[in-house]
Amino acid sequence: MDLIYLVKVLVRRKWTILFCTILGIAGGLTFRFFMRKEYVSNAQYSTGFSQTQKVSLQLNEIFDVNQIDFRLNNVIETFKSPVVLGMVAYDLLLHDLESTHPFRTLSEKDKKDSTYMKADFGRAKEILRDKLSSQKLLSTYDPEQKKVWDLLNLYNYDEFSILKKLTIERVPKTDYLNISFSSENPELSAYVVNVIGIKFKEFYNMLTSTTTKQSIYKLDSLQQSKRREVDELRNKLQAYRAKIGTPNPGDAATAAMGGYQELSSSLTQQQALLNDYKQKLSSVIEQLASMNSTVIQQPTGNNGDEVLLLRKANEQLTAQLAQKGGNDVEIQNKINANLNRIVQLTSGNNSTANVAKAAEKKDDLIKKKLELEADIASTSENIEMYKKRVEDFRKIAFSGGGEEVVARAYENDLETAQKDLEKYNSSLFASQDIDVAPDFNFKQIILGQPAIRPEPTHGLLITAISGLTMFFLSCLFIIILELLDNSLRTPTIFQKETKLDVLTVLGKIDLQRKSLKDYFDFDSKSDRGYASTLFIENLRKLRYEIETSGKKIILVTSPKTREGKSTVVESLGYTLSMSKKKVLLIDANFSNNTLTREFAAKPTLESFSLNGHENGMDKVWGITTLTSVTNMDIIGCDEGNYTPSEILQKNNLLSNLDKVIHHYDFIFLEGAALNMHADSKELAEYVEGIVAVFSARNTVGEIDKDSIQFLKSNHEKFIGVVLNNVDEQNLNV
């Protein structure tokens, strides 16, 4: 579509666009007036992922930036988890129910809600305290807890309402997190950003506390076992000392040779064990590093309580087993039964099973790591001791003192066992000093404060955007309507659609308010506006085109009915009479004889015949009706469902138009619509020229294309098109 036309359309609709723009501005101002003030508080937390921990269970600490990114993302998702947000929501609701200065006060309408009226606030407080202490979510299947959940939603403290106002972002290139919350109450915003860190830490501590306690119990069992080994070696040394009494140098060679062989074999075994322990420790460290990169999520299944009880029972049984030296079959069977039950409970829930398996696997890896570190240290000491003793026995084998060498061997064994016991004691003490998660040093470094001023409402910007949005939307809507409009509304569009020449363009005129004759009344007192003047001027252009065409007998037709043929024919009669031309109008539109009715003409066309009449013009004058317009006559017809070839007599008027034209300057015939009738096609053989009338309000369909093709096929007779009913604004487009 022509861009200039679209611009002119927008200019024509300027008042509509202006109204929509003002409406948008008014909407923006209204929104600004009723917009609730928002207060934002910010807090900052350090995760400590990039900091050195006070207790490290790894031999070599690896600083991996990608791993830190994964862990930070996991922490952010844990902040947004249902458990953490739920604990924050329960804390807020409990505060509002108990405090004399609640963060939110329900309106009178909300207090009339059935949720508020049926609520048992005492019981609700008990349930909230219980959920906060046990870190469990409300169950909507429990009727009492469902009431608390509904009350939570009434206060807009539900998980989705909090998450919608909560923003958690990482400070670029750091392990810090910025947490912000917006609400209508500055104290509420500050409270949320501060308490969410506490709830997050409580949640994380709960996940890892069970595993840490189990690890401590297992370390304690290993320590007790090593202590018994030290006592046994000490008793063995004392018994040997009492047995040998004073050393006998004569037996040194024999005893030393036997000890030398035995120690050489033990040295080889210890070296092999050391290599094996080192390889296993490397594998365990890699597995722990992989598990530490993921924040464990809390199991939320219905069997979580029973799983925790079974784990606590195993903690107690493990402690009892350690006290009995780890050899009590009955206690070990109970532990195994509990472990099997835990597996059964967690197998129905993938999330819970994964958490249980991950916790148990991490527990085993920590225990295995501590054991391997102790074993490596012990084995290294043993190797050094064996090397020294092998050298000593080699020398003594040739110099005597065998009993003393054996006694010294017992002493070295006792010393090595005591060192191992000290290592287990140190590991146990370090494990007890670990802050729940040895690789998680979470701290709040900036406390959230209530905002002094609300956030800027950007009222001017919102108003401007609203106005501009409505402006562009209204323009777009108008353009879309124009693009969807397939009517022949402008001369340019008409020529593109039909490829027919336009003789003139006639605007819309109101024939109900003013008759066609009045438009041609040039009395100085007559009211002739711009539209009337333009209509007359365009008819004069049409008159010029017809006069210069050289055609005298002209058929006026149209593709569709009600296109304005009769008005055009009558207007041509008026404008030609103004130029002193004598015009005869013949109404040959048998389907709708508008001209006959307009001029009250005699319907004589069908009955006229020149057969047997020598002077034909005398008979023509007899069927002609004089009009009130100077120099314009008319011959009328009756209405009927027939065509000219079916109703006209032999030697009819139309076949003698060549004789009639000598008495008139122009003869205009009006034919029926081409799409529906064959009348105009039959009339075309009697005329010299054809003028088609198209309405700008109509579209071009397939049947119209057939009519257009008929006009093009009669190119010798076809003069052109009159585009009628064009909007005043589109006359020059």
> What's 450-462 look like in SS3?
CCCCCCCCCHHHH
pTM equals 0.50
166 and 216 part of one domain = no
425 and 340 part of one domain = yes
SS3 424: helix
DSSP 452-511: SSPPP--HHHHHHHHHHHHHHHHHHHHHHHHHH--S--SHHHHHHHH---EEEEEE---T
* In-domain check, residue 506: yes
Residue 311 burial by Cβ neighbours in a 10 Å radius (0-12, 13-18, 19+)? buried
* In-domain check, residue 98: yes
- pLDDT tens by residue, 496-514: 889 999 999 998 888 888 8
Question: Tokens 């069908």 appear where?
Answer: 606
Contact 606, 654 (CB under 8 A): no
Q: What Rg do the C-alpha atoms of the chain give, in angstroms?
A: 54
Question: Tokens 């723009």 appear where?
Answer: 21
CA geometry: angle 551, 557, 561, nearest 5 deg: 165
- Domain end position, chosen among 204, 235, 270: 204
Inter-residue long-range contacts of 709-717, CB under 8 Å, 24+ positions, other chains counted: 710/674, 710/681, 711/500, 712/499, 712/500, 714/684, 714/690, 717/551, 717/684, 717/687, 717/688, 717/689, 717/690
233 and 93 part of one domain = no
616 and 668 part of one domain = yes
514 and 619 part of one domain = yes
- Domain end position, chosen among 385, 419, 443: 443
Contact 658, 523 (CB under 8 A): no
Round to whole Å and give the CA distance between 242 and 339: 49
Question: Tokens 């034209």 appear where?
Answer: 661
* In-domain check, residue 452: no
For residue 710, the domain's CATH number is 3.40.50.300
- pLDDT tens by residue, 378-408: 788 778 887 887 777 766 665 544 566 667 7
Least confident of 304-308, 372-376, 656-660, 722-726: 304-308
Mean pLDDT: which of 155-159, 291-295, 364-368 is highest?
155-159
Q: How far apart are the first and last CA of the chain?
A: 11
Angle between helices 252-292 and 350-396 (to 10 degrees): 160
Contact 557, 565 (CB under 8 A): yes
40 and 121 part of one domain = yes
132 and 36 part of one domain = yes
Residue 437: the pLDDT is 46
* In-domain check, residue 520: yes
Which H or E run contains 714? Answer: none
Residue range of the domain that includes 420? 212-443
* In-domain check, residue 449: no
522 vs 620 pLDDT, higher one? 620
604 and 713 part of one domain = yes
Residue 587 burial by Cβ neighbours in a 10 Å radius (0-12, 13-18, 19+)? buried
167 and 310 part of one domain = no
In this structure, what token pair is assigned to residue 562?
């009600």
What residue type is assigned to position 571 of the chain? S
* In-domain check, residue 464: no
Residue 88's φ and ψ, nearest 5 degrees, are -65, -45
192 and 259 part of one domain = no
Residue 254: the pLDDT is 62
Residue 296's φ and ψ, nearest 5 degrees, are -70, 135
193 and 261 part of one domain = no
Closest CA to 602 of 590, 613, 582, 587: 587
Residue 252: the pLDDT is 54
- pLDDT tens by residue, 321-369: 666 655 677 887 787 787 777 767 765 544 445 555 666 677 777 777 7
Residue 58: the pLDDT is 45
Residue 215: the pLDDT is 56
SS3 135: coil
* In-domain check, residue 459: no
* In-domain check, residue 475: no
Round to whole Å and give the CA distance between 195 and 205: 15
Neighbours of 371 (CB within 10 A): 19
Residue 11 pLDDT grade (very low, low, confident, very high; cuts 50, 70, 90): confident
- pLDDT tens by residue, 563-583: 999 999 999 999 999 899 999
**Pair type for strands 689-695 and 718-726:** parallel
91 and 39 part of one domain = yes
Query: Over pLDDT 70: what percentage of the chain?
Result: 79
- Name residue 178's beta-bridge partners: 44, 169
Distance of CA 273 to the CA centre of its chain: 59
- Alpha-carbon distances, residue 159 vs 150, 198, 379, 415, 485 (angstroms): 12, 17, 55, 61, 50
Residue 269 pLDDT grade (very low, low, confident, very high; cuts 50, 70, 90): confident
Count of domains for the chain: 3
